Structures are given as structure tokens and as C-alpha cells.
Amino acid sequence: MAMVATSVILTSGWLFFPESPYWLVRHGKTTQARRSLQRVYGIKNEIFYTIEIQRMESETLQAFSIQGNVSQNPRHRFLGLDLSSEAECFNRLNRKRTLTAILAASGQQMIGATFVIGHATYFLDLIGVKDYFDASIVLYVLMLLASMSAFPLSEIVGRRTMIVIPQIVLCCILLLIGILGCVPDQEKANWAIIVFIYLWSIIYQLSIGAVGFVLASEIATVRLRSTTQGLVTITNAVWGLIMQFTIPYMINPDAGNLGGKVGFIFLGTGLFAAIGGWFLYPETKGVSFETMDELYASGTAPRYFRAVSGQMRGCAPESKGSPVLS
């Protein structure tokens, strides 16, 4: 019943969500876009809304000039469904952006979030922690505080910095957990595993746990952002299904009984996410939407986006009102 109640509350809230101003601008409904912005910001400053609408119109025109108008793209249908936007997410211009957004969110599962966080209480019980429930409550409180700290830090430090290096650190911690799972004296090793689980969880929430979805939402071109987020959500759900099904078999005493050695498994998948992130994750902080489109279209390596965008701003001033991801 508790799950039903929360679902009803969340679903009821959807009725009060304003329509996306970007979507309205792209469809020429500037008056409705202005009203939507007024609902979002709630301030009485007509000049501000005028500048915002002009900014969105400029951004939309810039995106069309780089990627082409949606009406010019071929239509793709499957079982009567129009999948043109989904197909466009994987064309030459957008494939890398789509896969990067998917990796930014899927990396959470690949680096062991479901194991360390989702099964924390059960795992602590298996390794002999007497007050395993209290220990898991403390763990979740620390994670909440870390997650709250991540959002202001992402505006100060940047998205790429807060994900790439911490992912490597998380992999190192998983390696240590795996090694401790091989120690003969498991009673002593388990206490070290608990310490590393706490440390892993804090670093995770300060990095990809909170910032991963931020980065994933900023990578796609504006016109395909909603479709890309749908693909990200579907992929993350598939990963969640796989992890929820397999992890109990890994740690159950009557099945895999791997204990801390599960760290080795997620070290392998986590390294894939960390290495992929090094090459694919751009720094979106301080980079305008138009500049992101230009950099991807030019084939610039994502890890150099911030430096190249800085050079572009130095060579030519940005257009008035150009949106910058701060």
C-alpha cells in the first residue's frame, strides 16, 4: 500500500507540470512558452521572459542549421509507431551523444550501485554485522548528505571532473573489496569491507550517483533531448532488471556465495564505464548549447570540449543571450 500511495502522489503531480518551453518554441507557440516559463520561474519580470524566448528561438535555429530540420529527415515506422526521433538519435551526428548519455546513467549500474547500495542491508547481514539494519540506515544517511553536496559542487567543479576521476577511485575500492573477500580470516576482513562500502557509497553519491543524470540530460541536442532521456531511462531499467536478478545469485550462501569477491565482477564492468567515460564524457559546465552542437558536429574529442569552447569564446563573442550550462 505504501508503494501505491507514493505512486498516486507522484502521478497526481504530473497534472501540474508545465509544458516544456523548448518544445513550445520549436512548434512556434511562443505565447504558451512564455506562460510556461512564468510557471517555472514565478517571477514578475517581462524583460527576462522576452530574453529567454529570444534565446530559445536563437538556439533552435542554430540547432536546425547544424542538424537540419526534422521535416527533412526520413521517417521510420515500426508496427505503426513513428520511431523517427529514436532512429535520429543513432544517426551519424547524434550516435556518440546518445551513447554517451546512456553510458553516463548506465555507468551507475555497471560500477556496482545495485550491489553496494541496493543489497547493502542483506549483504551486511551475510558478512556477520550484528546491527546490520542500523548500519544500513547510517549508510543511507551519509549517502543522502553526499548527494545533497554533489549538486552545488557540480556547478563549481564541473560534471566531467566529478565523474571521471571518482569512477577510477570507485574501481580501486571495488578491487580492494574483492581482495578482502579472498582473505582467509573473513571475520577481520569483513570490517574492512564495511569501511570500504561506506567510503564507496559516499564517493559514488558525490560523483556519478548524482551527477550522472545531470550530464546525461545535457549532452543531447535540444530537439532530441526528451527522446534521448527516454532511451536513457529504458536502458537503465534494463540494467536494473539484470542486476536485481543476478546479484542475489552472486551473494546468496546457497548459490554463488561470493561475498566480497563480488567486487571483482563489478571492477570489470566498472572499468568499462570508467574508461568509456574518460573518452566520451564532455565538460558541459560553461559550454553553451549551440557550442555543444558545433563541437560534436566538428568531431572534437569530448574530453577537449571545455578547452576548445574557451578558445571559441576568445576568438568570437557569443551571441547575446546564448544559453550556457553553468
Rounded to an integer, the average pLDDT of 313-323 is 49
Class for the domain spanning 93-280:
mainly alpha
* Whole-structure pTM value: 0.79
Sign of CA dihedral 154, 139, 110, 224: negative
C-beta of residue 251 within 8 angstroms of C-beta of residue 257 = yes
Sign of CA dihedral 61, 63, 66, 67: negative
Length of the chain: 326
- Burial of 201 by CB count in 10 Å (0-12 exposed, 13-18 middle, 19+ buried)? buried
pLDDT at position 325 = 56
pLDDT, tens digit, 9 for 90 and up, residues 245-254: 898 888 888 8
CA 151 to chain centre: 13
Q: Give start-end residues of each CATH 1.20.1250.20 domain in the chain.
A: 93-280
Give me the chain's average pLDDT, please.
Answer: 83
pLDDT at position 11 = 83
Residue 125 sits at the vertex; the CA angle it makes with 120 and 126, to the nearest 5 degrees, is: 100
Q: Is the pLDDT of residue 153 over 80?
A: yes
**Nearest by Cα to 136 from 81, 197, 79:** 197
Looking at the chain, the whole-number percentage of residues with pLDDT higher than 90 is: 21
pLDDT, tens digit, 9 for 90 and up, residues 211-264: 888 888 888 887 888 889 889 999 988 998 898 889 888 888 888 888 888 999
Q: 287: part of which helix (H) or strand (E)?
A: strand 287-288
Question: What is the distance between the alpha carbons of residues 212 and 103, in angstroms, rounded to a whole number?
Answer: 9
- At 273, the pLDDT band (50, 70, 90 cuts) reads very high
pLDDT at position 67 = 62
pLDDT at position 317 = 45
C-beta of residue 170 within 8 angstroms of C-beta of residue 230 = no
Residue 72 sits at the vertex; the CA angle it makes with 69 and 77, to the nearest 5 degrees, is: 115
- At 150, the pLDDT band (50, 70, 90 cuts) reads confident
- At 99, the pLDDT band (50, 70, 90 cuts) reads very high
Q: Is the pLDDT of residue 128 over 80?
A: no
Question: What is the distance between the alpha carbons of residues 91 and 99, in angstroms, rounded to a whole number?
Answer: 11
Residue 71 neighbours by CB distance under 10 Å: 6
Q: Bridge-partner residues for 288, per DSSP? A: 324
Residue 212 neighbours by CB distance under 10 Å: 30
- At 82, the pLDDT band (50, 70, 90 cuts) reads low
Q: Is the pLDDT of residue 93 over 60?
A: yes
